[in-house]
Amino acid sequence: MQNMGTGARIPGMGCFRIINHNIPESLMMEMKAVSRSLLDLPVEVKLRNCDPVQGKGYTPPHKASSVFEGLGCYDMAAPGALDNFFHQLGASPQQREIISKYSKAIHELGMDMGRKLLKGLGLSGDLFDGWPCQLRINKYNYTPEYVGSTGAVLHTDPGFLTILQDDEIIGGLEAVHKDTGEYIPVDPMPGSLVVNLGDLAEIWSNGRLWSVKHRVQCYEGTIRVSIALFVLGPKDGALEPPDELVDSEHPRLYNSMNFEDYRMLRITTRSPTGAIEILRIKS
């Protein structure tokens, strides 16, 4: 991927870091403080954060990761979605104001990323217009005994892309180099954001973009908090590459599938990294 004006790709990686975005660092720090306070709520309060879409509300510690938990607002730009999230958790007026400002800013950045991706491929338009975007705040309850262990198993993201405000102090995110298979630490850089491309980006771009495999390791025995915006996929219809990205030199690589069906395929096949290969067109 070319430099898109907001960040640069690491060669061989389906991820890049944005360093000159328009979200004030002060707002990012306020959002991080609010996230910590919500994640510190009693479990019985966090359990109120539920969503009709399975796995999109509160995620308690579980078998795959006994130290991870997260809160979520699915399709956060939909009317009433954030208000419902606030009501579930009993958010204060100040918390509501900060989350609303941050959500608006990060959503606008996500939409701009779609336009820049199109431009970088010689296309135009609003790629992500009307797509659901999920806001998630994540907490890794690390202790000294957990150092060296895995907080989030190796996986790709099923949607198109993820914009991540990682922990500004505690590292742990590792991305897999596409060509060498090497784990590359994504070290913290306060004030910046990390973008991970997901499976739908690879399908839509006909292989010009690639989905990055990544995991989260425990480097230090202290709590780690991150905030993520997941740009998922179109609400209706299957995602397929534009005609301009398919030709005799670039034959179509994947069968099309709508996002929700693909999400369920990953769950039913228990394929956190390999489900995209099920859609690959056999030559």
Domains in the chain: ranges and CATH: 7-237 (2.60.120.330)
Question: Cβ neighbours of residue 283 under 8 Å, at least 6 residues apart?
Answer: 251
pTM of this prediction?
Answer: 0.93
The predicted pLDDT at position 55 comes to: 66
The predicted pLDDT at position 34 comes to: 99
CB 171 within 8 A of CB 218: no
In the block, which residue shows the tokens 């944005």?
Answer: 18
The predicted pLDDT at position 7 comes to: 44
The predicted pLDDT at position 237 comes to: 85
Question: Cβ neighbours of residue 230 under 8 Å, at least 6 residues apart?
Answer: 133, 134, 136, 157, 159, 161, 162, 198
Q: How far apart are CA 164 and CA 31, in angstroms?
A: 13
- Nearest partner of 19 among 178, 150, 140, 195, judged by Cα: 195
Judging by beta carbons within 10 Å of its beta carbon (0-12, 13-18, 19+), is residue 270 exposed, middle or buried?
Answer: exposed
**End-to-end Cα, the chain, rounded Å:** 25
- Nearest partner of 177 among 30, 15, 22, judged by Cα: 15
The predicted pLDDT at position 83 comes to: 97
pLDDT tens track, the chain, 283 positions = 333 334 444 445 699 999 999 999 999 999 999 999 999 999 999 999 997 676 689 999 987 788 999 999 999 999 999 999 999 999 999 999 999 999 999 999 999 999 999 999 999 999 999 999 999 999 999 999 999 999 999 999 999 999 999 999 999 999 999 889 999 999 999 999 999 999 999 999 999 999 999 999 999 999 999 999 999 999 888 899 999 999 999 999 999 999 999 999 999 999 899 899 999 998 7
